[in-house]
Amino acid sequence: MKKLEFKGNKNVIHLQLRRMRTRKNITQEELAAKMQVLSVNINQQEISRIENNRRVVSDFELVCFCKALSCTERELLRDFYDEIGADD
């Protein structure tokens, strides 16, 4: 089976997700609850795995993380865009 990685990362939002969550004073459990309200079946352990770069994030999870954290996809993907040198 092919590994899904980008430059050794399972996902490209792990650092920004943790930063945004902690900046908004939301625990991993609270974020999991917000995601579940959005019909995403995820728990605190899975969010920990994402933030520790040990789990892939799907497209619908990315969108729902943004909704749960009241941010844009661009904000969560900031590190990725900086890495590839993308212009706004």
Q: Which long-range contacts (CB under 8 A, 24 or more apart) does 15-19 make?
A: 15/79, 16/75, 16/76, 16/77, 16/78, 16/79, 17/47, 17/50, 17/51, 17/65, 17/69, 17/76, 18/51
Q: Is 4 among the domain residues?
A: no
Q: State the total domains in the chain.
A: 1
pLDDT for the residue numbered 3: 76
pLDDT for the residue numbered 84: 84
Q: Is 54 among the domain residues?
A: yes
Q: Give the domain range for residue 25.
A: 14-81
pLDDT for the residue numbered 50: 98
pLDDT for the residue numbered 85: 84
State yes or no: pLDDT of 6 exceeds 90.
Answer: no
State yes or no: pLDDT of 88 exceeds 80.
Answer: no
Sign of the C-alpha dihedral computed for residues 15, 20, 23 and 25 taken in this order: negative
Question: What amino acid is encoded at 10 in this protein?
Answer: K
Q: What is the pLDDT of residues 31-86, one digit of tens each?
A: 999 999 999 999 999 999 999 999 999 999 999 999 999 999 999 999 999 988 86
Q: Is 37 among the domain residues?
A: yes
Q: Is 87 among the domain residues?
A: no
CATH of the domain at 25: 1.10.260.40
